[in-house]
Amino acid sequence: MIDINIYEQIRHLYAVEKLSQRAIARKLGISRNTVKRYCNGENVPWESKPRQYECPVTGPIRLTVQRWLEEDKQAPKKQRHTATRVHERLVEEYGFTGSYSAVRDLVRELRSQEHKAYIPLEFDPGEAAQVDWGEATVYLNGKKVKVQLFCYRLCSSSAPYVAVFPSQRSESFLAGHVQAFEFLGGVPKRLIYDNLKTAVKEGWGRYVRAQQPAFLALRSHYAFSADFCNPGAGNEKGLVEGLVGYIRRNVLVPVPRVNDFAELQPLLDERCRRYQKKQLRYHQSKIKDALAVEQQYLTPLPARQFDYALTSMAEVDNMSLVKFDRNRYSVPVDLVGKPVTVKGYPYEVKIYHRSRKAAVHHRIYRQGETSLVLEHYLPVLVQKPRSLQNAAPLRWASLPPGFAKFKDNLLARGETKELARVLKLVMDYGIEEVEKAVLKALDSNQYSYQAIYYYLTTRQVQPAKTNTLPTFPRVQPVDLTRYDSLWAGETR
């Protein structure tokens, strides 16, 4: 490549002054080949043509490898040629003597040429939203666990919403919709999905023939239609695909450390609101401004929120337990043998008897486990004190520290009847009030039902402690001087 000034002189001398190529070369002190290349303006110095390299090793096999890769497009994804398999076939079938690295580079080059063309899409306000699941890792109460991210994004304004759940089950899938609709203030006309099992019952893509009953109920309640992507066509919902990666890289880094899901969800809500302040490339306004316009076109929310619980009927067994989703949950003992309705939400299980809420438990996702509530068994434990030594509801209960110490002391001494009487006080006054009385009794080193009952029922203000000696109830001395006046004959 020559300098542009030299090129200018060559063109001037040749085109204007009509000098020969030999004369131009002699005058400028350059080779005749350079003058020949640039004198007529066919070539210019600021453009370079790509060189064509010969490939003596992979050139003869290029078309063969290209044909194999084209045939792979009709084969299952997990049964397509790798570079290793291509090299093996070339050696076995064609006597190829080149190295594996040469074949690997050829396969990489041919696959990089398989670029697909996509069409830019445009959506009307309120027309559509995209839904997808993602996975992330958090520290939950000190333990490293995987959580599921329900990702939802309006197509016109690109406003996002992300909800976190323990699983991708149907109740979490439905709950994510309800939370997204509430968060963004309305429902689009249609939603775009993968072929999720929680939504699709039979078929795939445009050939979906049946949808899950719970999903149909959600659609009916919020009045939207559903479109399902073709298998493996993530580009059909590219907006929400990008949202999953954005949340993992920007919101969940560093890895959050929270006590429970209730602490993590507000963090995601706040980041979704903060994201609305962005102005995306090729967008004319910020997301929050576009969302304000789109909300005017969203379908209004129904008067009643959709109940997304997984609901089933069950009968209480003789241990006052109800089976639900391969686990067991306790209910009050007066419901033994009676039918109940169990509603499983993403984070809790609610049990109803004749429309009355009978019990609420934290949802268990491991199989074969039992959740017991001490209050459910108190009427029976009070009547059967001998069971207290090994009663599972009492052992598993998360008792206040004072009551736990009091209970362990009585059981160590075998005073189960005394403990049963104290549990009766829990039924009458509640565990919080009994704990206050227990703490007062422990300050005085008292381990008896009478002491607990006294501190529960007395209204006497206890004097401030002036020493470390145990404090007991004080009896005021009797004033005997009044008897002297009676003996003297004094009358009222």
Distance CA 210, CA 212 (A): 7
Annotate 221-240 with b (16+ C-beta within 10 A) or e (fewer): bbebebebbeeeeeebbebb
pLDDT band, residue 466 (cuts 50/70/90): very low
Please give the pLDDT value at position 353.
95
Q: Dihedral of the CA atoms 367, 369, 371, 377 (nearest 10)?
A: 140
**Contact predicate 242/207, CB 8 Å:** no
Please give the pLDDT value at position 265.
94
- Which one, of 157, 235, 163, lies nearest residue 192 by Cα? 235
Running DSSP on this structure, what letter comes out for residue 204? -
Q: 301-331, pLDDT tens digit by residue?
A: 999 999 999 999 999 999 999 999 999 999 9
Distance CA 322, CA 372 (A): 11
Structure tokens at 111: 């696959």
Q: 272-295, pLDDT tens digit by residue?
A: 999 999 888 878 899 999 999 999
The phi, psi pair for 446, rounded to 5°, reads -110, 125
The phi, psi pair for 447, rounded to 5°, reads -125, 75
Tell me whether the omega of the peptide bond preceding residue 254 falls within 30 degrees of 0, making it cis. yes
Please give the pLDDT value at position 111.
85
**Alpha helices (H) in 229-260, listed in sequence order:** 238-246
DSSP H or E stretch at residue 171? helix 170-184
pTM: 0.70
pLDDT band, residue 463 (cuts 50/70/90): very low
CA distances from 84 to 368, 390, 405 (A): 46, 64, 68
Higher pLDDT, 111 or 174: 174
Structure tokens at 458: 């007395």
Distance CA 102, CA 83 (A): 10
pLDDT band, residue 110 (cuts 50/70/90): confident
Q: What is the CA radius of gyration of the chain?
A: 40
Q: Which residues contact 322 (CB under 8 A, 6 or more apart)?
A: 314, 315, 316, 328, 329, 330, 331, 340, 342, 351
The highest-confidence range among 41-45, 55-59, 209-213, 228-232, by mean pLDDT, is 209-213
- Which one, of 357, 366, 369, 378, lies nearest residue 323 by Cα? 369
Domain 128-294 has CATH 3.40.50.970: no
Q: What's the one-letter identity of residue 80?
A: R
Structure tokens at 312: 């089933």
Please give the pLDDT value at position 335.
95
The domain limits of the chain are 4-38, 62-112, 128-294, 310-371, 374-492
**Contact predicate 19/28, CB 8 Å:** no
**Average pLDDT over the chain, rounded to whole?**
87
Q: 203-258, pLDDT tens digit by residue?
A: 877 788 889 999 999 999 999 999 998 776 656 677 788 888 888 888 888 899 99
Distance CA 89, CA 118 (A): 34
The phi, psi pair for 200, rounded to 5°, reads -100, 125
Higher pLDDT, 154 or 242: 154
Higher pLDDT, 473 or 125: 125
Higher pLDDT, 492 or 201: 201
> Is residue 120's pLDDT more than 80?
no
Which of 156-160, 265-269, 468-472 bottoms out in mean pLDDT, i.e. has the lowest? 468-472
Q: 26-36, pLDDT tens digit by residue?
A: 999 999 998 89
Which of 22-31, 47-56, 86-95 bottoms out in mean pLDDT, i.e. has the lowest? 47-56
The percentage of residues in the chain with a pLDDT greater than 90, rounded to a whole number, is 58
The three-state secondary structure class of 133 is strand
Q: Dihedral of the CA atoms 139, 144, 150, 154 (nearest 10)?
A: 50
Distance CA 23, CA 412 (A): 118
Distance CA 349, CA 169 (A): 14
